[in-house]
Amino acid sequence: MRIIGADSLFVQQKTCPARGHASRAFPAFSAYCRQGMENLLRKLDLTSLRLFVAVCQERSMARAAEREFIAPSAISRRIADIEAIVGLPLIQRHQRGITVTPVGETVRRYAEHILGTIESLGAELSQFHEGARGSVRMAANLSAIVQFLPEDLAAFGRVFSAVDVELDEQHSNEVLQRVAERAVDVGICNAVEGIEAFTMVPYRRDRLAVILPVGHPLAARTGEIPFAACAGETLVGLQGNSALTQLLRQQASAAGTPLRIKIRVSSLDALCRMAHAGLGIAIAPEQVGQLYVGKLDVVVRPLTDEWAHRQLWLVFPSREQLSATAAAVVNFLAQGQAGSGL
């Protein structure tokens, strides 16, 4: 709209201030100058502009009509309407076709810009209609990243190709902190202290299991085993204050048995490899342990305890504060919460 205004101002400066020849020659345009550009904006329509551009490009009313699937007389009326609004001739008709006047070239130039802008707007809106575009910052704990996010984010990217997801690995407590500080848009973590302050949407479920080296006495058991059977065992644990470490510490304290962590590592991969080497038993998501069965000399025994069934949550400040792109991520990932999670 400002572009039209700029052009209108240009023409007005060339014609109106003279208060003589221009005003006498084009009384309709002089009236437009006095009324301002609101009249132009109110009366011009996109269809008329599109048809006028077609005539300018084809240099023929008949060819433009054929291209736009409309009668030549209808195009002629549309152009006459624009000329009546502007108060100046836009084209000159002759036997070979038409010639665009200087005023017509000006109108054509801005009409093409307006139509191009509308087309670009439609293309961008279609992206929002299909889902979203832009970028989303996320933080997730190790369990979510190792078990579910690679496949889920790949599937999201196939549907929402215009959205870039930035992902950082953090412990669950740190995930909440980053969400609170608005350093990320969405977090994924297990239930830890303070999570109730955020909007929570179920993401996936997992189940904890004991990962044992082949030959360990507990490996001889078949099926599930209780956490109490691990009492007195040396554990391989994760570094830092992870949600898994907090949970194991709480359950050991409730059972009145010490939690003996001999080695602390930074990844679930290292956790399983340490167990394979006989440096301790490991407790990790069952799905993670199953990745190493057949690759390492380990066995996986799910825990029977109710608390071993864990919920992973999508967390964010509120629905109202989510951008369209972040909401698309949350809605897509939440669909998987009833899927293959353990």
The Cα 126–Cα 291 span in angstroms is: 41
Query: Which residues make Cβ contacts (< 8 Å) with residue 277, sequence separation at least 6?
Result: 213
Residues 286/341, Cβ–Cβ less than 8 Å: no
Q: Is the pLDDT of residue 133 over 50?
A: yes
Query: pLDDT digits over 44-66, tens only?
Result: 888 999 999 999 999 998 999 99
Q: Which residue has the tokens 């132009």?
A: 40
The Cα 189–Cα 172 span in angstroms is: 5
Q: Say how many residues make up the chain.
A: 342
Query: pLDDT digits over 291-321, tens only?
Result: 888 888 899 999 999 999 999 999 999 988 8
Residue 146 three-state SS = helix
Instruction: Return the pLDDT at 259.
Output: 84
Please name every residue paired with 284 in a beta bridge, in sequence order, or none if there are none.
209
Residues 88-103: what's their mean pLDDT?
90
Q: Which residue has the tokens 């099926």?
A: 223
Whether pTM exceeds 0.75: no
Question: Which domains are seen in the chain, by residue range?
Answer: 2-128 (1.10.10.10), 134-338 (3.40.190.290)
Residues 299/219, Cβ–Cβ less than 8 Å: yes
The two structure tokens encoding residue 286: 């069952």
Query: Which residues make Cβ contacts (< 8 Å) with residue 222, sequence separation at least 6?
Result: none
Buried b (16+ CB within 10 A) or exposed e, 60-85: bbeebbeebeeeeeebbebbeebbeb
Helix extents (H) in 193-323: 243-255, 268-276, 286-290
Under the banding of pLDDT at 50, 70 and 90, the label for residue 122 is confident
The Cα 270–Cα 257 span in angstroms is: 25
Q: How many separate helices (H) and strands (E) can be counted in the chain?
A: 15, 11
Tell me how far CA of residue 24 lies from CA of 14, 81, 102, 193, in angstroms: 14, 21, 20, 81
Angle between helices 46-58 and 72-86 in degrees, nearest 10: 110
Residues 264-268: what's their mean pLDDT?
88
The Cα 154–Cα 288 span in angstroms is: 19
pLDDT over 90, % of the chain: 46
